[in-house]
Structure 1
Amino acid sequence: MSERDTGTGAATGAAGPPVRRPDLATETFVAHRSLLFTVAYEMLGSAADAEDVLQETWLRWADVDPGTVRNPRAYLVRITTRQALARLRTLARRKESYVGPWLPEPLLTSPDVAEDAELADSVSMAMLLVLETLTPTERAVFVLREVFGVEYDEIAEAVGKNLAAVRQITHRARARVAARRPRATVSAAETHAALEAFRRAVNTGDLQGLLDILAPDVVFLGDGGGVAQAAPEPVVGAGRVARLAARLRRFGAAALRPARVNGCPALVLRLDGRVDTVIALHVADGRVAGLYAVRNPEKLSRMEHETVLRR
């Protein structure tokens, strides 16, 4: 019987092992994996926990006959949402004992994320911090509806609520996000200009330059997780933040490099070849309004390779 008859690929060669095509369940899951990761990450703010959710999603999906599922995307999103909701409650308990400010786990992202303005905004550090103020159900509903455009009836099934309740939760979550969401960001060119002005001022020790580029009410948050040294409380005000940022000069200009983190401009501090700190910036009205420095080494594993995010 020929290789064509047995279903193995001729490209494997006569002596090589047969290469079998993935089954339909695996192909479907792989096709939607980036979307499912993005849903889980936006709900959790943690890539490690999002990966755990995807593992649970796969285990449940593997027990299903994909041929009986009318809409695999909706089905997988529903499983992922349910698993993320359960994980959110565990995370809430973990954050209660977290040392110092808690920040989302930063992701090194590809340029195409920035090209999708809505996606980039939804995964930005500033927006993820706003989502932290919502209840788990509000967060799930908001993310599914506002970011991924999931229909209300599908959301209702995913979160275990009736249609009327989901509409009310959506309205409430929108209002809470609108009241807290960061001021509208400036254009990509102005954002890049602000980032470069900040980096140049840090590298040259130009304190006045820092004061000029920082918003008067700029907020600095540092996340060391009790493992790495970081500011134990938020630092507010251009003067205080400028003095704090000026300390970065001692590491040298080559140590602080620009990067695209969570779809937005950021700076990465490398020491001895490893990522030491990720500083995400939120720019509004041409000035830096937020600085979010992640130093907890447990949160820096996603900074060596780009993470694919999809809607």
Structure 2
Amino acid sequence: MVHFRPDIFFSNSVVFNHLCRIQFCQARNTRKNVNNGLEVGGAIAVYYEGELVVDMWGGYIDREVLIPWKNDTLGLVYSCSKGIGVILLGIFAEKGYIDFQERVSHYWPEFAQNGKESITVEMLINHQAGLHYLEEPLEMELFITDFDQFASKLALQKPHWTPGTQFGYHCFTFGMYVDVLLRKVDPLKRPLEQIYREELFKPYDLDIFQGTPYSEQYRTVSVLTEKYWWEVVDSFFDIIPYIASRILFTPHICKASTALIGGYMFGYAGFGGQVAYGEMTNRISIAHITNHLNPIISLNDERWSSIITAIYDSLGKIKKH
């Protein structure tokens, strides 16, 4: 049985809304992140053993005009979307559309050039392909206006190390390759946003958009950045994602990931403080989204540290009883 204690806090004219299982109410202390200036607006959600135990939101989506953050506010998740893309690939693997051990060129023949012939789907999604930046500029609008040309130009890229021999975070290119691959293997040949909506967002009742429609813009956040953007560059390349052992999929689908990493976590950290992951050992998943973008790598962010401390302190007390 999950017992929720709803609370609304008013501090320095900032509104906080909390729904917390009593055992996890220590998480409410993270509202101090807004009071001390570390946060402008944001939300936290925690699932434990399949149940929502923390659902918190507060602050502002626009500090200039004091528009409060609400429970249906939409924010940018940045690289957390990589985890969503990989989950969708897992769903496609369950359906038999794709095999992680197969070469990418099996589904995308043009890909087999310039040293990429041996790259498997597994190498690509584990950041081992050596395709972490583009040799030549690529017009992103082609993805919408001329998908075939976009895929052809992307297929020309050369790996920057022998594929499969090392890791390197594919910060900006990961989504390009995964999105093309999703469209290539989709038997219905649907537009990308339709694939996401019909295969993942709608079946699991997720309030997420791959390309936010104009009709939803009214509830999106305004972002506030730190002064020195150049500090962000190095932080992009310090994050290595953990690979899942079990979330939605059968052991057959998860086998390759288990062999590579060890199988305890799934998720990504996104630019500015966004984090979303599931931790299999304790059967807990945690997500944090913010509009106060911080150039510090998310996993070292003071805000995230306070959230993790509160959640795992609560979890430790539960396990002692």
- Shared fold per TM-score greater than 0.5: no
More strand by share: 2
Find the structure with the greater CA-based Rg. 1
Query: What's the TM-score once normalised by structure 2's chain length?
Result: 0.28
Query: What's the TM-score once normalised by structure 1's chain length?
Result: 0.29
